[in-house]
Structure 1
Amino acid sequence: MTEEEMRKRLAGLRIEHRDLDAAIAALTAANTQDQLQIARLKKRKLRLKDQISIIEDFLTPDIIA
């Protein structure tokens, strides 16, 4: 995977993460009783955050001071 592809993937993951955040907030605000759905969305959001961190770490060069 090239750096360009990784940056595009990173942008897509960030968008999906933001969308999940909005969906969780909407379900919570609607006082829905579907706690299982909210839990699944939160778990997916955490997985996305991990993937984002991995790609960011790869794209960010280590700076030796």
Structure 2
Amino acid sequence: MTEEEMRKRLSALRIEHRDLDAAISALSSANSPDQLQIARLKKRKLRLRDQIAIVEDYLTPDIIA
């Protein structure tokens, strides 16, 4: 993958992470929240966070002080 593709991937991951956050909030505020669905979304959100961290680490060069 080129750096440009990695940056696009990072942007897409961040958007999906933000969308999941909104979905979790909406489900949580429902009259009878589906706890199983919320738990699944939270797990997916955590996996996305890990993927975001991996891509960010790849894009950020190591600086030796």
TM-score, normalised by the number of residues in structure 2: 0.95
- Displacement of 1:34 in angstroms is 1.0
2:21 matched to 1:8?
no
What SS does the corresponding residue of 1:39 show, helix, strand or coil?
A: helix
Give 1:58's aligned residue: 58
Question: Pairwise CA RMSD of aligned residues?
Answer: 0.8
Give 1:22's aligned residue: 22
Runs of 4+ in 1 over 6 A off after TM superposition: none
TM-score, normalised by the number of residues in structure 1: 0.95
Aligned residues: 65
- Displacement of 1:33 in angstroms is 3.4
Gaps in structure 2 of 5+ consecutive residues: none
What SS does the corresponding residue of 2:32 show, helix, strand or coil?
A: coil
Give aligned-pair identity as a percent.
83
Gaps in structure 1 of 5+ consecutive residues: none
- Displacement of 1:16 in angstroms is 0.1
